[in-house]
Structure formats: structure tokens, C-alpha cells
A and B are shown apart, each in its own frame.
Chain A
Amino acid sequence: MAETVVVDFPKNFTRALNDGQLRRNLRAAMDTLGMRRRTLFSDPVAFEQLRARGDAIRQRALRQLPELLERLETKCTANGIQVHWAETPAQANGICLEILRRHKATRVIKGKSMVSEEMHLNHFLEEHGVEALETDLGEYIIQLDHETPSHIIVPAIHKNRDQIARLFHEKIPDTPYTEVVEELNAIARKVLREKFFAGEVGVSGVNFAVAETGTLCLVENEGNGRMCTTAPPVHIAVMGLEKVVERLEDVPPLLRLLTGSATGQLITTYFNMITSPRKQGEKDGPKEVHLILLDNGRSKIWADPELRQTLKCIRCGACMNHCPVYTRLGGHAYGYVYPGPIGSILTPQLEGLDHAGAMATASSFCGACEEVCPVKIPIVDILRRLRVESYNKQDASNAVKGHGYKTNATESLTWKAWALSNAVPWINAVNAKLLGLLGPLLPRLPAWGIVKGWRQSRALPRFAGKSLHALAKESRIRDE
């Protein structure tokens, strides 16, 4: 299902920047997450070594992607896991629905999964009469409020406890108002426990899929992921096809990088490795396990060696926590499922530059994201590439979807004039002279069009009366 909403970035950004509550909530949270991460990776030498390892593992996995996907499929199938392939979110949703229909299931319990957000699975299932309940506390909170995650790790981080207290009080029957976090937590536990008990199908994401053994790895703290993948008779795991790794021994370094970068944890409460459905004689666990491999544009990203690096991502969210843009806006302003720096390089490639290209402009190129990225994704280079492609109309085979959307006559003409003025000395001289004469008048002219927008948050530079060239000439510095 393609995103049909038109995202109005400037409006979103203005609204987010003017929301004082949102900015306070975010600031506190991002500072804490950043601090926890720094505490865990306190030895810079060891951290560099670890992320070089992580980078190497992810690169090796991507290099062999088609072979590893086939190996994963073979292994999983041999283990009894049913593997499905989907080119589009619509296909993936269809596969889910078909499994649910076969089991006559109407109650789905869900663990946290960004790919399922990408598929808009909940919405799709509800349209087809299936209750899809988020069970991760943060996801549960935002689902109650009909929102989407604003962060890929801590989805409800834009809300504070008062807001959550009000929400629970209003939306959950017979719930008194309380701002005590432990009590809010207990309320959710009680509601969701009944759902775990009654859930007919569990849906989860996948953090790593191991081709060597056909194992699906899930990282979590709450236990809801284990509930969803253990208590119901059917488990459906959805994953982006880039999540595969080659060997089981590749997992420990990635796991450390993931939990450390995400929340500064040495390890999460649970690391859940699933290799097969319930075997003969076993007393619990799902009798059926399905794995859905979703492409949704990833194979196209993969084909370009530079853009491919986007797919190294292990979804830790550290780039968001350290991004000066994200920490002031939060995730909703970006308007798509994946926000922040990783979202700004991934989303325009998935959705097309013509839809989401503006995300690539939501960066000052400060590079903080790259510094913390546990698998060394060259985020700034890719952002720059996307900005260039926004103006590139040529249909190269590796051109990003929706490229050239920004090309316009005014800008093309301006740049042509600029190039000319720098190539032809006499034009340059005339320009310099004119600017020297007219420059001081500019601030007094009424602002219009793009100039107006530009001047809203910037002061006009003061033009020197004479150009450097002219000054040098007057001082008789030899012209070479």
C-alpha cells in the first residue's frame, strides 16, 4: 500500500518547532539515551573495533544477499518454518490475511515491528475485520491514541506521563487517572495479559535472520515479543529482506551494537532465537511459524553500491537520538514510518524522491549520525547523493525512484548564469561591480518569493563596496 497522504514538510516542521511540550519531552529523552549509550561504549578504541566488526558482518551479508536469502529459505523450510516472499507491502499484507483466514483468526497480538508499520498492517487487518493489537507498551500507548511511532525504538517518546495518564483514563474502561509510571505499567500489563491469553495469531518483526541455521532473532525487554511468538498457535514473522546475516557467530557483535546503541544496554532482558515451530512432543510454542520476506524497493537500493549501504542498518535509532534536527522535531514531523537520519535516506528511496525527497533536506550535514552509527553507514554521503538526484532528470539504471523532481527553470537558469559568470572574466567583473553598487540596497527592497522564505530566518549578508579582485588591483598586487 503506497503512502497516499501528501506530506507538508514545512507545515509539519513549523508545528513541531512551536510545540513546547513536544520539544521538552524529546530533549530530555534524547539526552538520556545519548548519555546511556556513551556510558556503555565508554572505551572509544574498543567501540571502533566493535563497529568495524559490525560493519564487516553487514557488508558481507549484503554482498551475498541473494545466496543468503536462498540459504535462509532452505534452512527455515527444513526446520519447518514456512517462508513467503513479497515484493510489495500489499503482497505481504495479503499473505498475512490469507494465513489468518485459514485459521479463522480474528485476534492478532503484535510485537514491535517497523516492517509491519511499513506495511500499515494494523490498518489493513482492521479493514478486514481483524483486531490487531500492539503489545509493546509504547506501541500500545500510541495505538490507543491512533498515532504512529515517533521513534523506531521508543515509539511513544513524544508523550509524557500526564498525557499517557489522561489517555489511559479516557480510553481504557474503569481506569482511574494516575501519573505514577509503575501504575500505568500495571494497567497495561493487566489489559494485555488477557490479550496474550486469547491471542490466536502472533505477529513479530525480526532483528536478525541467520542463514546458516534458519534462526529468527528477536531483541526485547518487555516479554511481549516472547508472548506473541510463543503463546498463540500461529506465529507470523515479517522482515525486510536485508535483515539476513550469514552465520550464527555474526550475531553476538551485532547484538551488542544494537542494544548498546539503542538504549545503552549491555543486553536486553530477552534475546529470543526461534528456529522452528513446535516439534513433536513439545508442549508449547506455535504449531505454525511463517516468515515473510519483504522487498518493497530494497532490491533496487541494493543494486547501487553506494545506496546499498543504507541496507546495513540494524535499526538501533542512535542516529535519531543524536540528530539536532530529529531531537527538535520528533518523528511525526517527517510524515513517514522511518524518521530521523536513517529515515531521511531510506524513505526517499522506498517512496520515491518525488514523494519524500524533502526528507533529505532535513539535515545540516553535521555528521553526528555517522559518528554514532554502529555499522558505519555513510549517511551524509547518501543524503548528498539524494539531493543531487532530486535535480537529476537523466534516467540512469541506478537513478533513485522519483529523481529529478526538483528540476525547475528558475534554478537551472540561475546555476547556468552562475557558471557563466565564473567562466567568463568580463561578466564576472561586471557582476562584482553591480553587486558592489546595488548590494547595500538589497535589504531595503521588499522580499518576495524564495528570497522571502530565505530571509525569514537569515540576515542578508552585507556586500562589500568593492570586490577582492578590485581591492587587490588597487593595492598593485600582481595579477596572475
Chain B
Amino acid sequence: MNSPRDNILARLRAAAPQEATSAREADAPPTPELGRADKIARFNRLMEAMHAEVLLTDSQNWRIALKDLVRKRGLNGLLYAPGTPLGNALEADWDSDLPPLVGYSQEVEQCKERLFAIDAGITSTKGGIADLGALILWPNASEPRLMSLVPAIHIAVLEASRIHDSLAEAMRQERWAEQMPTNALLISGPSKTADIELVLTFGVHGPKELIVLLVED
């Protein structure tokens, strides 16, 4: 007996040769190329419409903004990625009265319980997308995937210069197709659902809050 694979491919190959369409394909509608200020404005507007909180700050003050919000919320800890530029910056200047920084430094199998118990996580981002109002994350060995998913609050740091016009532009410019990571993500707000009577509610299985520290650089 042939394998299902062979049978399926044989069936597809046996089908009559198809019409050769050499006609030019329709192009996608163009996305407007925005200036820096417009890109930031649009990104903010769309993210906030999806209930993300965007804090505009700069490279001098982002840590102050972060400490402020962490202090206000009385968190039990902040999950972070040691050994990354962001992680180093946090370690270098973290006050003792703040909720402790908790490093994601073991494999999930060793720290699953702690991971599911912590209130908040902070991650860097690869960029943003203006016409969608979304963050781009490429989790990696030092900044794992669950950091932006399991804690109830996700804090994301985004440099304003990394906001792209569109997803298509980001993919093209950064040559994604040549180097797709284990997992690439777009995130446009806190987790949400409308499965009951289409009533939009936030914080279903993923984070209940998404806070973006948008750093002017």
C-alpha cells in the first residue's frame, strides 16, 4: 500500500494540467509612507484603541516611568531577561524598595510554577507596526516566549525609531523570509475575547494589561 503522502500527491499530479495564467497579479493597495511623528501618532492611537497603555518617554526617563508604574501597582515581582541589554539596564539601577526582578533563566520545566505565579513581565521588542498598531516580538533564548504571555501584565519596551509603516514593509526591510525565528509574534493589545454576545472583554487567557514604554531615541 502506498503512503497517504504518495496517494495525495499522485491524485494532485494526476489532475488535468491547469490553465496557464501569466496575467499579472493584482497588487495590494499601497500603504501610505508616514513621517516619524505620524507613524508614532498612528501607532499610539491604534494601540490605545485596543486598550494597550502607551507611555511616551525617552532614553533618559524610561526607567523612571517604569519604576513608577511598577511601584504603583504593588506587583509581587517583575519577570525579566538577564543578560540582555534591557536586562542589564534594569539590573544596573533597580531600587531595593521595588518589587524584585525575577530572571527567566531556567528552562520552563524547572520554573513553570514561579512563571505562572508572577504578576508582570517586561520584554524588549523587535519593532512596531504603524498601520496595525502592533508590536513585533521575536522571542529568543534569553527572552523566552512565555514572558509576554503568562504574567497578567506585559510591559514592552519599544524604540520609536523601530516603528514600521506596515507588516509587509517590516518583512521586506528586515528580510524576515531568510531568517524566520522559532516564533515571531505580533501583539496588538491585552488578550481579549468577544465570544459571549460579542461583548468585548479584556484579559482572558493572556495578559490583562499591555503597557508599552515607547522610547524616543
Contacts and interface: CB of A to CB of B under 8 A. Distances in A.
Interface of A: 25, 28-29, 32-33, 46, 49-50, 52-53, 55-57, 59-60, 63, 65-66, 69-70, 85-87, 91, 135-138, 141, 154-157, 159-161, 164, 181-182, 184-185, 188-189, 192-193, 196-197, 212-215, 221-224, 226-227, 230-231, 233, 241, 247-249, 251-253, 255, 263, 266-279, 281-285, 293, 295, 299-300, 302-303, 305
Given A156-B195, A213-B176, A255-B167, 18 more contacts: A29-B197, A85-B5, A91-B4, A137-B193, A137-B196, A141-B196, A164-B196, A185-B193, A192-B205, A224-B204, A230-B145, A267-B133, A269-B206, A274-B183, A281-B141, A283-B107, A299-B15, A302-B15
A207 B47 CA distance: 24
B201 interface: yes
B contact patch SS: loop
Please classify how large the interface on chain B is, using the bins under 10, 10 to 19, 20 to 34, 35 or more.
35 or more
A285 B182 contact: yes
13 contacts: A155-B195, A185-B204, A193-B116, A212-B177, A222-B205, A223-B149, A223-B206, A224-B204, A233-B109, A270-B187, A282-B141, A283-B144, A285-B182
B27 A282 contact: no
A188 B167 contact: no
B9 A86 contact: no
B196 A185 contact: yes
B116 A53 contact: no
B198 interface: yes
Contacts of A285: 144-145, 182-183
Contact of A223 (B16, B28, B168, B191): B191
Nearest to A95: B4
B11 interface: yes
B206 A266 contact: no
A184 B144 contact: no
B141 to A, nearest CB: 4
B205 A182 contact: no
Nearest to A29: B198
A255 B166 CA distance: 12
A46 B182 CA distance: 34
A110 to B, nearest CB: 13
B78 interface: no
Given A181-B196, A212-B177, A270-B187, A249 B171 contact: yes
B199 interface: yes
Interface string B43-65: 00010001000000000000000
Contact of B132 (A69, A185, A192, A267): A267
B80 interface: no
Contacts of A157: 198
A138 B195 CA distance: 5
Nearest to B188: A267
B143 to A, nearest CB: 9
Interface in B18-41: 18-19, 21, 25-29
